[in-house]
Amino acid sequence: MSSTNRTVVITGIGATTPLGGDAATTWEALVAGRSGVGLLQQEWAAELPVRIAAQAAVDPAEILPRPQARKLDRTAQLALIAAAEAWQDAGYSGRAGEEAEIAPERLGAVIASGIGGVTTLLDQYDVLKEKGVRRVSPHTVPMLMPNSPAANVGLQVNAQAGVHTPVSACASGAEAIGYAVEMIRTGRADVVLAGGTEASIHPLPIVAFGNMMAMSKSNDDPEGASRPYDADRNGFVMGEGAGVVVLESEAHAKARGAKIYAEAVGQGVSADSHHITQPEPSGKGIAHALQNLVDNNDLKPAEIAHVNAHATSTPLGDVAEIKALRQVFGDDVDHMAVSATKSMTGHLLGGAGGVETVATVLALKNRLAPPTINITNLDPEADADVVRDSPRPLPEGPIVALNDSFGFGGHNVVLAFRTVQ
Amino acid sequence: MAATQKEIVDGLAEIVNEIAGIPVEDVQLDKSFTDDLDVDSLSMVEVVVAAEERFDVKIPDDDVKNLKTVGDATEYILKHQS
């Protein structure tokens, strides 16, 4: 089966997000323009400057068997749930080489997290301080290591072609999917579970992001706080959740008669090398990634009908992305329906690329671009066809959709997906 | 007051149930923690710490490797509880 430049397709999707415990309910809420942001009711949040977040709609610890859940950080719990949904959706059940008819050596897993098991790290430090050495969980290290979600997903399905965890802050989830596409293209694997997960709703990360002036402090209006492209946007809202897809070589998918959602066309990657956290304001670095995407994958700008933008609701970032789209695609941007789904999900950090890939693939499948909510006054610098308030039908025929993800550190990852006949 | 053998087995059964999800009735003297009760080496540390608290006994790390079965642990606790 090994060959190079093989076509890669998506045959399964899974998500657990602030909008719903699976991909279908998440999509339903996205199309309905519902916000997943709310006021944090936890006692620890009462005195914080930021008291809003988009918490997972379904607690993963309530779904997984208790003995399993107690040995997993919430990032891995969310990833396992999204991965199980995607695996089943792709027509597989059980482990490779056992119930699932695929050789373990041809199956991979690439699951990213931006921060890793940070709540485990912080909680166990509290245990150490308050209860002493003996009470620190022996599971702490395998729970907090950032590759834990990938390793646990790999264990669950018996993936032996390679299990990986790219880390690039908020671009991590997209980087995971891009890496998985390359694994299949180059013949290292036939099927790869790929995506991102994050669970960092805890006082320290919230205070730390807040002190960077990166987060919205609109505590009096949680549902209106995440407002990409609005003239008065004032920062992102932290979200948690996971999104995972099953990527597969087209030949493998067709041979087993799998349903195919979309083609995973490829990725464009670049690094700003401008500032450790601020985006390069002209959009030059993002433009470089977009250009790589087009050049390396023979994309025609005329095909691109939809962009699931990175747009986190920060003043600089949202506009830099639009400038980059204009630099690379010029007037072709006018026929791209641009959606900022973070207006509803909040910003899932390392989980964003996974969840937004699921949203992008469903947008292609349903030929419908989700809305961007909370735009009262569109920023005049957002010079693009932003889908506002209600979903927008996408054109018939073969079309391409992009999913943009950028991360602290200057990481830029752009993924492209195409409808299939 | 020191715990009886039955109280220790019942206590270990509750601990193993909490940590590994094994039904309490399956936790019997002849059962191996790793082979029969789904308690791996990391979870065994949890079982030991929970047993230390419950039965007011110290189980040094060097002794843990000798506690292969529920019977081994019960005997150890019977002998060492204060």
C-alpha span between A340 and A325 (Å, rounded): 14
CA distances from A174 to A106, A293, A402 (A): 22, 13, 11
Query: What token pair was written down for A312?
Result: 């986190």
Q: What is the pLDDT along chain A (421 residues), one digit of tens a residue?
A: 445 679 999 999 999 999 999 999 999 999 999 999 999 999 999 999 999 999 999 999 999 999 999 999 999 999 999 999 999 999 999 999 999 999 999 999 999 999 999 999 999 999 999 999 999 999 999 999 999 999 999 999 999 999 999 999 999 999 999 999 999 999 999 999 999 999 999 999 999 999 999 999 999 999 999 999 999 999 999 999 999 999 999 999 999 999 999 999 999 999 999 999 998 999 999 999 999 999 999 999 999 999 999 999 999 999 999 999 999 999 999 999 999 999 999 999 999 999 999 999 999 999 999 999 999 999 999 999 999 989 999 999 999 999 999 999 999 999 999 999 7
C-alpha span between A199 and A114 (Å, rounded): 10
DSSP-based three-state secondary structure for A28: helix
Partner B contacted by A138 (CB < 8 A)? yes
Q: What is the dihedral of CA A328, A332, A333, A337, to 10 degrees?
A: -140
Residue A355 or residue B81, greater confidence: A355
DSSP-based three-state secondary structure for A220: coil
Interface size, chain A vs chain B, as Cβ–Cβ contacts under 8 Å: 22
- Alpha-carbon gap: A49 to the closest alpha carbon of chain B (Å): 37
In a mutational test of the B interface, the residue from A64, A68, A71 whose CB has the highest number of chain B CBs within 10 Å is A71
Is this prediction's pTM over 0.90?
A: yes
- A230 DSSP assignment: B
A135 CB neighbours in chain B (<8 A) are 49
Partner B contacted by A71 (CB < 8 A)? yes
Three-class DSSP labels, A398-416: CCEEEEEEEECCCEEEEEE
CA distances from A366 to A266, A395, A396, A419 (A): 21, 11, 11, 10
Please tell me which of the candidates B38, B42, B52 has its beta carbon nearest to residue A139: B42
- Alpha-carbon gap: A154 to the closest alpha carbon of chain B (Å): 19
Q: How do the domains of chain B map onto residue ranges?
A: 5-80
252-281 of A, contacting B, C-beta below 8 A? none
C-alpha span between A212 and A255 (Å, rounded): 51
- A15 DSSP assignment: E
Partner A contacted by B15 (CB < 8 A)? no
C-alpha span between B65 and A18 (Å, rounded): 44
- Alpha-carbon gap: B17 to the closest alpha carbon of chain A (Å): 8
CATH architecture of B5-80: Orthogonal Bundle (1.10)
β-strand A400-407 against A304-308: which pairing, if any?
parallel
B14 CB neighbours in chain A (<8 A) are none
Residue A158: φ, ψ to 5°: 65, 50
Please, which residues bridge with residue A9 across strands?
A248, A263
Nearest chain A alpha carbon to B37: A67
Q: Do A66 and B46 touch (CB under 8 A)?
A: no
Res A4: pLDDT: 64
Asked if A102 and A33 touch (Cβ cutoff 8 Å), the reply is no
Partner A contacted by B78 (CB < 8 A)? no
Other beta carbons within 10 angstroms of residue A229's beta carbon come to: 26
DSSP-based three-state secondary structure for B32: strand
C-alpha span between A139 and A77 (Å, rounded): 14
Residue B62: φ, ψ to 5°: -65, -25
Domains and CATH numbers, chain A: 8-255 (3.40.47.10), 266-418 (3.40.47.10)
- B2 DSSP assignment: P
C-alpha span between A296 and A88 (Å, rounded): 32
Res A2: pLDDT: 45
Partner A contacted by B39 (CB < 8 A)? no
- Alpha-carbon gap: A139 to the closest alpha carbon of chain B (Å): 6
C-alpha span between A179 and A164 (Å, rounded): 9
Q: What is the dihedral of CA A152, A157, A163, A169, to 10 degrees?
A: -50
Partner B contacted by A69 (CB < 8 A)? no
Q: Which amino acid would we find at residue B65?
A: K
Query: What token pair was written down for A340?
Result: 């900022």
What number is the ipTM of this complex? 0.90
- A238 DSSP assignment: B
Q: Do B19 and A66 touch (CB under 8 A)?
A: no
